[in-house]
Structure formats: C-alpha cells, structure tokens
Amino acid sequence: MRTQVGIVGAGPAGLLLSHLLALRGIESIVVETRSRAYCEARQRAGVLECGSVQVLREAGLADRLDRLGLEHGGIYLQFGGQRRRIDFRDLTGGRTVTVYAQTEVVKDLIAARLAAGGAIEFEISDTEVAAVTTARPVLRYTGADGVRHEVTCDAIAGCDGFHGICRDAIPAGLRTVWESGYPYAWLGILADVPPSTDELIYCHHPAGFALHSLRSPQLSRLYLQVPPEEDIAAWPDDRIWAEMQRRFALPGWELKEGPVLEKGITPMRSFVCSPMRHGRLFLAGDAAHIVPPTGAKGLNLALADVTVLAGALISLLRDGRGELADAYSDSCLDRVWRATHFSWWMTTMLHATPGAGSLEAQLQLSQLRYVTSSRAAATSLAENYVGYRPAATPG
Ligand code: FAD
Ligand code: DHB
C-alpha cells in the first residue's frame, strides 16, 4: 500500500491533521488501536482556546461547535472564602474560550473524515514505524481482520499519545526528555445536573483543589484533588459530593448535586520531548508533551501542533520545500514550553502539596490575591488561558 502521510492515532491530533491535509489534496491513512466508539466516548478535556475554535471553523468543522459550544468570557478563582472573576474579554481585547468537550471534537472529526472518504482503520494492533530517516518511511500494522499491512509513506505523523510507540522511534541518544510528576491526581466526575455556575470555578482549599466545569446546560463536569495512588473504589458518590460541598462552600451559593454518570482518576505530569521530529517522522500532541490539566492546555496544544505540522507537510510534499518541516519542532516547542510553564504555575498555585508547611499555603493565597487584584498579573493569566500564541491555519 502507498499513501502520502501515515498517521498513527485517531485522537484529536491525528484526526485534525488528516482533515487539514485532505483540504489541501494530500492523502493520508489514520490507524488506531481502539474502536471508534471508544475514541468517541473517552472523557477528557473540555475547554477550547479561541485559536483552536478558529482553526476548527476555518477547516469547516464547526457546525456543531457553533451550535453547542458555550463561549466563556472568564473564569472564577475561589480562595480564602472569596470567589473572584478573571475577565478574559476585558483583559485580552475581546478574546474568549469555548466549552466544548473533546468527545465532541473527536466525533466531529471522525464524521468529517469518513464523509470525505478518508481512511481511518480502527482496532488495529502491532503498529510499527520504520525507515523514518529515508524519504520513504514505512508504517506497518495488523488490521481488525488480522491481516498485516505495510504502507509506504512520504512522512509519518506520530499522534499516538503519551503511551504510543512513535516517540521511541527517535533514538534515545538523539532526544532529550524533561519530566516531572506531581504528588496528587484528579478525580473527575460527569454528573447529570445543570451546572451550578455560569463559568468555570478553580477553587483553592486547604483540603485540596476543586474545579467546577461543565459539558452543557444539563451536564456538569467536576474534579477533586486526590492522592496520586488513590483507588476510585474509595470514593462512593456521596463521599464525592460531600467533599465537593466542603471545598466549594460559599455563603449564598449552592452546589447542585445529581446522578454521577462517570468517574475516574487521572494522574498528573509535565513531560516534554525534544526534538519533535526525526527525519520524516513528526510527533504531535501528547506523543511529544504532557501538561497537568489545570490550565486546560493538553487538547489545545495537540490541535496547535498539527495545524503547524499540516502547513509543514503541505509545503514539503506539494511544493518540495523543507524549511517549514525543519522549523516544525522549534516552532511547536516554543508554544509547548509556554503552556508547560503556565500549567505548572496554575497547578502549583491551586493544589495543596501533601506535607508542605503552612508557608506554601500563604504564598499561594498571596499569589491568588495578586492575580485577582493586579491588572498586570490578571492579564498574564488571561492571555495564557485563552491561548498564547495561536497557530495559523495553513494556506
Ligand atoms: P490522544 O487523545 O491520546 O490520542 C492518541 C491516540 O493514539 C489514541 O486514540 C490512542 O488509542 C492511539 N494510539 C496509541 N498507541 C497507538 C498505536 N501504537 N497505534 C495506533 N494508535 C495508537 N486535557 C485538558 O486540557 N483537560 C483535561 O481535563 C484533560 N483530561 C485528561 C484526562 C485523561 C485521562 C487524559 C489521558 C488526558 C487528559 N487531557 C486533558 C489531555 C488531553 O485530553 C490530551 O492532551 C489530548 O487528548 C491529546 O490529543 P492527542 O491526539 O495528542 O492524543
Ligand atoms: C476541564 C478540564 C480542565 O483541565 C480544565 O482546566 C478546565 C476544564 C474540563 O474537563 O471541562
């Protein structure tokens, strides 16, 4: 088999890349170990930066996003018995974020690819990439029917997430990895209850961080800081709600409870791999970098990477020009490191570090008072949250 770009992984990165390439007449195949139903149901991120929305809109992918997405002009920071708003519109010249679940982005992308006759192979196994430093890299996999395939490509995109195989195709001696864990995790729930807030609440509390987000006017999404090795079995629904009530408590405000539809625990880490390219293999999204979720950056970085990558591959494969491919890693890593710092900063400002002395909490509270009272500090948070800097759609 022969195609121009072999794409490993049907997450947001792989699917958007395939779509952006097809818009410019470049063919690709996407191979994915999981089923379509699994990819479409996997609960993950929920906030799109304005640049991500723009990319999806310009790519003709925003019909449902424009109908169902909820535009938010700010967030709340709650700490020390008060809830203060950061006004993104005011601080960033009118920019906003849009609450639209990753599950919906993935559904829209899969539907668009299949409607356009795009090739997505679900439930494959034993993915291999080879000959990536030649002009004809090879992608091998076993299809759902058990048949082994070999696809000769012009380039391969490793969009296979943190646990994928593509990153290891860059020899260890040629890549540098920076990694750090956090002494806590997030317990997330999806609840069948209208959100108790009009905008997200990021809540600092001595017992640990909590976040109130949403999926729609009928569905709430909430998170609690828990110990890193926590067993979800230790958290029956009534314990989760009691802990939410304790952390979000504010006089005159009520947290509405409802049936818990789903719950799970997500570990947290910061991870960056450089370079994001080796020969004709290009890494994008979680395959190359992971941020803790507190800044809502993971999905947005994945979409930004492939927006840049699509431009680089179009230039390379259509026009025979390699400059953008050569610049790909550096131009993505600039944004990645900004988001890595922002996510680490939001995380360490808002979470209670187990075993830390009371000095840490005082420093966090001071920082929270500062970002909610100084326009300069608030502007820095706001411009990072709405996206610094957006990637432009390839021409
Ligand atoms: P992924 O979405 O991981 O997609 C990679 C795809 O590759 C997967 O479908 C996988 O099955 C497939 N794959 C893996 N190995 C192979 C292989 N060998 N062959 C073929 N296919 C393969 N971000 C936020 O901003 N906020 C959040 O609340 C948030 N919550 C998260 C919760 C969890 C549990 C996780 C894991 C991530 C969360 N993130 C969150 C991060 C965000 O969801 C990711 O950054 C985003 O999914 C990255 O997209 P991606 O396409 O790069 O990778
Ligand atoms: C959501 C997740 C985040 O990590 C975040 O910072 C904001 C919202 C969410 O799942 O809705």
For 240: left if phi > 0, alpha if psi spans -120 to 50, otherwise beta; the answer is alpha
Q: Tell me the average pLDDT across 308-324.
A: 97
Quick one: pLDDT at residue 339? 98
pLDDT at 45 over 90: yes
Rounded to the nearest angstrom, the gap between the alpha carbon of residue 163 and the centroid of all alpha carbons in its chain is: 15
What are the counts of helices (DSSP H) followed by strands (DSSP E) for the chain? Answer: 11, 20
How many Cβ atoms from other residues are within 10 Å of residue 362's Cβ? 10
Q: Which residues contact 157 (CB under 8 A, 6 or more apart)?
A: 5, 6, 7, 8, 13, 14, 17, 28, 281, 282, 283, 284, 306, 309, 313
Quick one: pLDDT at residue 395? 61
Closest residue (by CA) to atom 34 of ligand 1?
266
Please tell me whether residue 2 adopts helix, strand or coil conformation.
strand
Sheet with 97-99, strands from edge to edge, namely 47-49, 97-99, 70-72
Name the percent of the chain lying above pLDDT 70.
Answer: 99
Quick one: pLDDT at residue 392? 72
Mutate to test the pocket of ligand 2, among 203, 223, 299 (most ligand atoms within 8 A of CB): 223
Distance of alpha carbon 215 from alpha carbon 262, whole angstroms: 13
Q: Which ligand is nearest to the CA of 6?
A: 1
Q: Tell me the average pLDDT across 47-74.
A: 97
Judge if the upstream peptide bond of residue 389 is cis by omega within 30 degrees of 0.
Answer: yes
Q: Which ligand is nearest to the CA of 140?
A: 1
Q: Secondary structure of the chain: what % helix, strand, coil (to 5)?
A: 40, 25, 35
Distance 213 CA to ligand 2 centre (A): 6
Nearest ligand 1 atom to alpha carbon 164: 15
Name the percent of the chain lying above pLDDT 90.
Answer: 98
Mean of the per-residue pLDDT values for the chain?
A: 97
Asked if residues 222 and 193 have their Cβ atoms less than 8 Å apart, the reply is no
Q: Is 76 a catalytic residue?
A: no
Strand partners, 186: 225, 266
DSSP state of 392: P
DSSP state of 172: G
DSSP state of 236: -
* Reported pTM: 0.97
Closest residue (by CA) to atom 2 of ligand 1?
11
Distance of alpha carbon 262 from alpha carbon 266, whole angstroms: 13
Please write the tens of the pLDDT for every residue from 131-143: 999 999 999 999 9
Asked if residues 351 and 363 have their Cβ atoms less than 8 Å apart, the reply is no
Distance 141 CA to ligand 2 centre (A): 34
Q: Which ligand is nearest to the CA of 75?
A: 2
Please tell me whether residue 62 adopts helix, strand or coil conformation.
coil
CB-based pocket (< 6 A), ligand 2 = 45-47, 200, 213, 221, 293-294, 296
Closest residue (by CA) to atom 7 of ligand 2?
296
Token pair in block for residue 283: 């890494």
Closest residue (by CA) to atom 40 of ligand 1?
45
Asked if residues 77 and 381 have their Cβ atoms less than 8 Å apart, the reply is no
Cβ of 34 closer than 6 Å to ligand 1, yes or no, is: yes
Quick one: pLDDT at residue 389? 80
Please tell me whether residue 89 adopts helix, strand or coil conformation.
helix
Quick one: pLDDT at residue 357? 87
Write down the catalytic residue from 72, 205, 278, 289: 72
Please tell me whether residue 35 adopts helix, strand or coil conformation.
coil
Q: Which ligand is nearest to the CA of 294?
A: 2
Cβ of 220 closer than 6 Å to ligand 1, yes or no, is: no
Residue in the structure block whose two tokens are 């409802």: 258
Cβ of 304 closer than 6 Å to ligand 1, yes or no, is: no
Token pair in block for residue 355: 């075993």
Q: Is 72 a catalytic residue?
A: yes
Please write the tens of the pLDDT for every residue from 261-298: 999 999 999 999 999 999 999 999 999 999 999 999 99
Closest CA to 1 of 138, 123, 133: 138
Q: Is 385 a catalytic residue?
A: yes
Distance of alpha carbon 220 from alpha carbon 244, whole angstroms: 13
Token pair in block for residue 147: 């048949």
DSSP state of 196: S
Quick one: pLDDT at residue 380? 98
Mutate to test the pocket of ligand 1, among 7, 40, 102, 107 (most ligand atoms within 8 A of CB): 102
**Phi, psi at residue 301, to the nearest 5°?**
-65, -40
Distance of alpha carbon 104 from alpha carbon 40, whole angstroms: 7
Mutate to test the pocket of ligand 1, among 299, 301, 303 (most ligand atoms within 8 A of CB): 299
Q: Is 256 a catalytic residue?
A: no
Asked if residues 17 and 157 have their Cβ atoms less than 8 Å apart, the reply is yes
**Phi, psi at residue 189, to the nearest 5°?**
-125, 150
Cβ of 10 closer than 6 Å to ligand 1, yes or no, is: yes
